[in-house]
Structure 1
Amino acid sequence: MRTSKRTQILEAAARVVEREGVKSVTFDSVAAEAGLTKGGLLYHFASRDDLVLAIHQHLADQWEASLAAAAGKPATEATAAERLTAYTRVSTQSATRAELLFMLEGSTTDEHAAAWNAVIERWAPPPAAATDDPATLDRFIARLAADGLWLYESLTAERLDPDLRQAIAERLAATLHRDGD
């Protein structure tokens, strides 16, 4: 199946971000990376803001596709334990620079954060309120540990041995299933 021009543009924009950061996303830089004209980009995105918002959605959609692949089903068909287990397993993989920069940049505005927050809400929402339920707390702690591992590997030069990373993912998954979920 051929990649659509819109997807080609969004993937090119992510490559620009990988190399040069979010501020480098311009119609000129993305057009050059995508092998298109500036007019070709304007056909798909009326403004830089539209392009940036679409990049947020594109990267969040890729993240969600990874989560669905890890769960073997979409969030709507997975149990809470299956969703959180998929989340912890995917979180054991390092983020790309584009994902990190866009997640960080996304946290500055509600509009940009919406795509990322929607994925988190479907797959690994925090408890609604304080709770005395140890299983609920264990699940949230496992999610926080997975987030921490993701950031650790994404923000440091050190790479964990793949066997250690897998052992951590399995230990977190076991934590999620101790209460029989």
Structure 2
Amino acid sequence: MRESKRTKILTAAVEVVQRDGVTSVTFDSVAAASGLTKGGLLYHFPSRDALLLAVHQHVAREWEESLVEAAGKTAEEATPEERLEAYARVTSRSVTRAELLLFLEASVNPGYAQPWRDVTDRWAPSLADAASGPAALTHFITRLAADGFWLYESLSGEPTSPELRRKVVERIAATIDKDA
């Protein structure tokens, strides 16, 4: 199936973020990376802000597709424990520079944060959930462990071997009370 121009633009924008950072995403840089004209980009995205929002939505959608694949079902079909286990497994993979930079950008821009929040709201327990009882608190701590592993790898510069990664993920997943 042929890649749509919109998808081609978003993929190119992610490549620009990966290579040069979020501030380097301009119509000129994305046009050069995608092989399209600046006018072609403007047809799909009337402003840089619209382009960046679409990039966040695009990467968040890819993240959710990974969650669905890990769970073997959609968030609506999965139990809370199945959603959390998928979340722990997916967040344990090595993060790309682009993902990290987009997450950081979203932390200071509520509009960019919304696509990520929508995904985490479907798949991971929230702080508010943690107050509803001991099992919910354990599930929230499991989320924090998965998020912490993701962040550790993102910022430490120390790659984790596949064997250690597997052990860490299994230990995190083992904290989920599947009978809760």
Shorter-normalised TM-score: what interval?
A: over 0.9
Q: What SS is found at the alignment partner of 1:172?
A: helix
Letter in 2 for 1:97: R
RMSD, aligned α-carbons: 1.3
Match of 2:151 in 1: 151
Misfit runs of 4+, over 4 Å:
none
Distance across 2 between alignment mates of 1:112 and 1:29: 20
Match of 1:67 in 2: 67
Question: Which consecutive residues of structure 1, in runs of 5 or more, have no partner in the other structure?
Answer: none
* 1:57-90 CA distance string (max 9 Å, x none): 0010011111111001111111100000000001
User: Residues 127 and 136 of structure 1 are in contact (CA less than 8 Å); yes or no, is this contact kept in structure 2?
Assistant: no
Match of 2:121 in 1: 121
Question: Which consecutive residues of structure 2, in runs of 5 or more, have no partner in the other structure?
Answer: none
With the length of structure 1 as denominator, give the TM-score of the two structures: 0.95
Match of 1:160 in 2: 160
User: Residues 130 and 136 of structure 2 are in contact (CA less than 8 Å); yes or no, is this contact kept in structure 1?
Assistant: no
Distance across 2 between alignment mates of 1:72 and 1:145: 22
After TM superposition, list the pairs within 5 Å mapping 1:128-143 onto structure 2: 128=128, 131=131, 133-143=133-143
Q: What SS is found at the alignment partner of 2:158?
A: coil
Distance across 1 between alignment mates of 2:127 and 2:135: 11
Percent identity for Structure 1 against Structure 2: 61
User: Residues 91 and 147 of structure 2 are in contact (CA less than 8 Å); yes or no, is this contact kept in structure 1?
Assistant: yes
- CA deviation after TM superposition for structure 1 residue 129, in Å: 5.6
Distance across 1 between alignment mates of 2:129 and 2:43: 45
* 1:11-38 CA distance string (max 9 Å, x none): 0000001111001000000000000111
Distance across 1 between alignment mates of 2:127 and 2:107: 20
